[in-house]
Structure 1
């Protein structure tokens, strides 16, 4: 193999690793990926909630598919089939994220779940680059196959279309089985997180990136309020939240909204109501998964990233009750 063919093989290996990581994250956090898939289903014109939910559930198979496809690319298993499939799949991801970017959607790309949070713009550009790498790898594979005789002996460079190990087929099929089993085990026991939002006692708030506030919710105790600056109930709750926020015996209170920090609604909210607590921005995807079926405001007590207790808008705890819960 010449240098060009080897470079194409290196590109194939890199994309294989990307697919393995992306697939593994989706398999391990299927509920999070479900919520990330909902907005994309709606972008495609699926407006009715039950249909969008069904589409998002069907999209969960992408986790095992990406996982096994990544191993196939890495081990050069059936490259004539897997390289085209990987290229078409990445092109579809690029088109979908580009559409979300063009529409100005404030949603997570869903590519790497809680591991890396990216907006549609970043994802569209990076996915576009990976499409180019895959096309180069595909071309390099065809070029190598046409320029050299078929090689049956396993080899790292995949010369002649051969896999890198004799047992590659078993490894790839094993990866598919692992992806399906782990994904199912991780998803079906957590169905309640889909039916009643992802903000419930015992759930770890993974994949939640805050903008505007420098804090790590995975460490320490916090009170978080899900709110909208345009919601009348949220506005009415500000005096009570201010009392809670100014109590030194209670955990720090952080309000979470899907509105940007410089949005006129947030600016007016701060100017008119003078909140004494920090306001952080989260993606619309995260806001929906934490408020679905309940509305807002919602208040939750979390410790080291795990939800301990949740209160709804019609039953917010008093300052004394919170002190009692915190043992202060």
Structure 2
């Protein structure tokens, strides 16, 4: 095989690793991926919640599919089938994220779950590059189809379109089985996180990226309030939140909203109500998954990233009650 064919094979291996990682993250955090898939279903015109939810649940099969497809690309298993499938799938991802980017949607790309946070713009550009790499790998595979097969050592370069090892089929099928089993085990016991939002006691707040405030919610104790600067109930709660925020015996209070830091609504909120707590921006996807079925404001006490207790808008705790809970 010549250098061009080998370069194409290297590209195939790289994309294979990308697919493995992306699929593994989705399989391991299926509930998080479910919430990330909801906005994309709505972007495609699925308006009714029940239908959008069904589409997002169906999208969960992408995790095992990406996982097994990655192993197939890495091990050069059935490249005549897997390379076109991988290319079409990546092109679909590119088109979807490009649409979200064009519409200015403030949502997570959902590609790598909590591992990497990417907006639609970043995802569209990077996915577009990977489509080009896949097309090059596809062309390289066809170009090297007539190369002499390797029989006395692992066929890493994919000569003649053969897999790396004779037992590659078992590895790929095993990867599919692992993806399906792990995904099911991780998803079905957590169905309540879909029906009752993802902000509940015992849940780790993975995949939550804050903008505007430099804190790591995975370390230490915090009080977080989910709010909207246009919500009258949220505005009415500010005096109580200010008292809580200024109490040195209580954890730091951070308010989370889907509005950008420089949004006029946030600026007016700060100017009119003078909040004494920090306000951070999270993606619309995260805001929805933390408030779904409950509305806002919501207050939660978290320790090392794990939700300990949640209070709804109609039953916010008093300062004394919070001190009692914290043992202050």
TM bucket normalised to smaller: over 0.9
Q: Is 1:225–1:300's contact at 8 Å kept on the other side of the alignment?
A: yes
Q: Secondary structure at the match of 1:302?
A: strand
How far apart, in 1, do the equivalents of 2:28 and 2:259 lie? 29
Q: 1:150 Cα shift?
A: 9.2
1:237-252 mapped onto 2 (5 Å cutoff): 237-252=237-252
Q: Secondary structure at the match of 1:233?
A: helix
Q: Deviations over 1:149-203 (max 9, x none)?
A: 7979751111001111121000000000000000000000000000000000000
Question: Structure 1-normalised TM-score?
Answer: 0.99
How far apart, in 2, do the equivalents of 1:258 and 1:115 lie? 20
Runs of 4+ in 1 over 4 A off after TM superposition: 146-154
How far apart, in 2, do the equivalents of 1:178 and 1:311 lie? 38
Q: Is 1:218–1:304's contact at 8 Å kept on the other side of the alignment?
A: yes
Q: Is 2:149–2:162's contact at 8 Å kept on the other side of the alignment?
A: no
Change in Cα spacing, 1:61 to 1:323, as seen in structure 2 (3 Å) is same
Q: 1:148 Cα shift?
A: 5.3
Q: Is 1:208–1:286's contact at 8 Å kept on the other side of the alignment?
A: yes
Q: Deviations over 1:11-69 (max 9, x none)?
A: 00000000000000000000000000000000000000000000000000000000000
Q: 1:135 Cα shift?
A: 0.1
1:297-312 mapped onto 2 (5 Å cutoff): 297-312=297-312
Q: Is 2:27–2:183's contact at 8 Å kept on the other side of the alignment?
A: yes
How far apart, in 2, do the equivalents of 1:291 and 1:15 lie? 36
How far apart, in 2, do the equivalents of 1:146 and 1:47 lie? 50
How far apart, in 1, do the equivalents of 2:117 and 2:23 lie? 15
How far apart, in 1, do the equivalents of 2:149 and 2:169 lie? 22
Q: Secondary structure at the match of 1:279?
A: strand
Q: 1:147 Cα shift?
A: 5.7
Q: 1:292 Cα shift?
A: 0.1
How far apart, in 1, do the equivalents of 2:149 and 2:56 lie? 45
Q: Secondary structure at the match of 1:147?
A: coil
Q: Deviations over 1:90-148 (max 9, x none)?
A: 00000000000000000000000000010000000000000000000000000111465
Q: Which runs of 5+ in 1 are unaligned?
A: none
Tell me the number of residue pairs that the alignment of Structure 1 and Structure 2 aligns: 328
Q: 1:270 Cα shift?
A: 0.2
Q: Deviations over 1:289-309 (max 9, x none)?
A: 000000000000000000000
Deviates more, 1:99-108 or 1:146-155: 146-155
How far apart, in 1, do the equivalents of 2:152 and 2:70 lie? 22
Q: Is 1:150–1:161's contact at 8 Å kept on the other side of the alignment?
A: no
Q: Which runs of 5+ in 2 are unaligned?
A: none
Change in Cα spacing, 1:249 to 1:263, as seen in structure 2 (3 Å) is same
Deviates more, 1:304-313 or 1:153-162: 153-162
How far apart, in 2, do the equivalents of 1:20 and 1:278 lie? 38
Q: Is 1:246–1:276's contact at 8 Å kept on the other side of the alignment?
A: yes
Q: Secondary structure at the match of 2:144?
A: helix
Q: Is 1:199–1:290's contact at 8 Å kept on the other side of the alignment?
A: yes
Q: Secondary structure at the match of 1:181?
A: helix
Q: Is 1:154–1:162's contact at 8 Å kept on the other side of the alignment?
A: no
CA-atom RMSD, angstroms?
Answer: 1.2
